[in-house]
């Protein structure tokens, strides 16, 4: 064939392959082949990618991690060889890292909600840092990590669950319980920082407002039935609730209800004396 070319007869050279039967399944004939030297270079490059990913995880550089994973996946897909398992190892490492971040974040958040008296904006900003990191990792989850990875929405879902827990607890407590103010202050701050919490804050305020009305009704009923010990307990609750709830319910409305209860009690006593 080379002789044909040297004699200036390229047509004969091109006709030679055309005379042979076509290869219907080239993948069965042609096989991937690498020399030992090439394999060594490949291993070194893959190892460099792996170290780069681990280092980037510590700095939360998820764009770089995504770039490295893309390169590893391309090698893994194109070479399709059993010795290339670093891609899966990196995926496992990243998922562990994201899960650990989530566990640290919710442990910190729960401590702020239930163990310390005051929740402040710095606490929320610290939690938001974890949320922001998780959002940056979303591209990784979509392209590489899969559904088994922690979703960034899990952080907000945890807030929702814990606020619901606090609201339920508030519904079971007396209106003058000091923990009511502590929880309400925290939920109010959360509602200012997370719009999804706003409705829950208004709902729990309405529940407490209804409880105020119930205490007022109980006070009037106990007074009219001469159960003055219970009346005293109810009026005391209203007085203490005024301090507990004044930053969350209508301050003027609370004061009016308290004053009206005292007037009701005095008027009822006056009627008893006159009769």
pLDDT tens, position by position, 88-145: 889 999 999 999 999 999 999 999 999 999 999 999 999 999 999 999 998 888 888 8
Q: Is residue 237 part of a domain?
A: yes
Structure tokens at 200: 């829950």
Q: What is the mean pLDDT of residues 253-264?
A: 91
Structure tokens at 162: 């814990």
Of 15-24, 85-94, 229-238, the range with the lowest mean pLDDT is 15-24
Q: Look at residue 3 and tell me if it is in a domain.
A: no
Cα dihedral sign, 58-62-64-66: positive
Is a pLDDT exceeding 90 seen at residue 42?
A: no
pLDDT at 149 over 90: no
pLDDT of residue 1: 44
- Tell whether the model's pLDDT for residue 54 goes beyond 60: yes
Taking the CA atoms of residue 167, residue 169, residue 170 and residue 175 in that order, the dihedral angle to the nearest 10 degrees is 170
Of 11-20, 34-43, 72-81, 207-216, the least confident: 11-20
- Does residue 268 form part of some domain? yes
The reported pLDDT for the residue numbered 133 is 92
d(Cα 200, Cα 197) in Å, to the nearest integer? 5
Domain extent at residue 253: 160-275
Closest by CA to 73, choosing from 49, 51, 95, is 49
Within-domain flag for 53: no
Question: What is the pLDDT averaged over residues 170-197?
Answer: 92
Question: Which tokens hold the place of 28?
Answer: 């069965």
State mean pLDDT over 70-74: 87
Q: Number of folded domains in the chain?
A: 1
The answer to whether the CB of 113 falls within 8 A of the CB of 179 is: no
249 located within any domain: yes
In this structure, the dihedral spanned by the alpha carbons of residues 63, 69, 73 and 74, taken in order and rounded to 10 degrees, is 60
Mean pLDDT score of the chain: 86
Find the range with the poorest average confidence among 7-11, 115-119, 242-246, 255-259. Answer: 7-11
Of the listed ranges 104-113, 142-151, 204-213, the one predicted with least confidence: 142-151
The answer to the question of residue 243 being in a domain is yes
DSSP 30-71: ------HHHHHHHHHHHHHHHHHHHHHHHHT-HHHHHHHHHH
Q: Of 26-30, 56-60, 121-125, where does mean pLDDT reach its minimum?
A: 26-30
In a domain, 132, yes or no: no
How high is the pLDDT of residue 138?
87
Two tokens, residue 178: 């000091």
Residue given tokens 């490949």 in the structure block: 42
Alpha helices in the chain (DSSP H): 2-6, 10-18, 26-29, 36-59, 62-79, 86-114, 121-136, 138-140, 153-171, 178-193, 198-224, 228-245, 251-274
Burial class of residue 32, CB neighbours in 10 A (0-12, 13-18, 19+):
exposed
The reported pLDDT for the residue numbered 199 is 93
Is 106 inside a domain boundary?
A: no
Predicted confidence band at 3 (pLDDT cuts at 50, 70, 90)?
A: low
Please, what is the end-to-end C-alpha distance for the chain in angstroms?
133
């Amino acid at each position: 064939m080379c002789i044909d070319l040297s004699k200036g007869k390229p047509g004969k050279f091109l006709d030679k392959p055309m005379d042979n039967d076509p290869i219907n399944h080239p993948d069965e004939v042609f096989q991937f082949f690498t020399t030992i030297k090439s394999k060594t270079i490949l291993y070194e490059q893959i190892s460099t990618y792996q170290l780069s990913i681990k280092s980037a995880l510590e700095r939360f550089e998820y764009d770089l991690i995504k770039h490295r994973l893309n390169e590893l996946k391309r090698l893994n897909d194109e070479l399709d060889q059993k010795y290339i398992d670093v891609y899966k190892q990196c995926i496992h490492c990243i998922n562990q890292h994201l899960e650990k971040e989530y566990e640290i974040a919710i442990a910190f958040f729960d401590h702020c909600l239930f163990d310390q008296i005051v929740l402040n904006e710095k606490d929320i900003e610290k939690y938001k840092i974890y949320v922001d990191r998780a959002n940056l990792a979303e591209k990784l989850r979509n392209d590489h990590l899969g559904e088994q990875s922690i979703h960034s929405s899990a952080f907000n879902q945890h807030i929702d669950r814990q606020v619901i827990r606090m609201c339920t607890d508030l519904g079971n407590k007396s209106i003058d319980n000091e923990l009511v103010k502590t929880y309400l202050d925290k939920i109010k701050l959360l509602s200012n920082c997370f719009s999804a919490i706003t409705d829950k804050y208004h709902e729990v305020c309405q529940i407490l407002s209804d409880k105020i009305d119930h205490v007022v009704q109980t006070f009037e009923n106990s007074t009219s039935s001469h159960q003055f010990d219970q009346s005293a307990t109810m009026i005391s609750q209203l007085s203490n609730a005024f301090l507990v709830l004044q930053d969350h319910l209508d301050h003027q409305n609370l004061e009016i209800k308290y004053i009206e209860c005292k007037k009701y009690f005095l008027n009822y006593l006056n009627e008893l004396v006159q009769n």
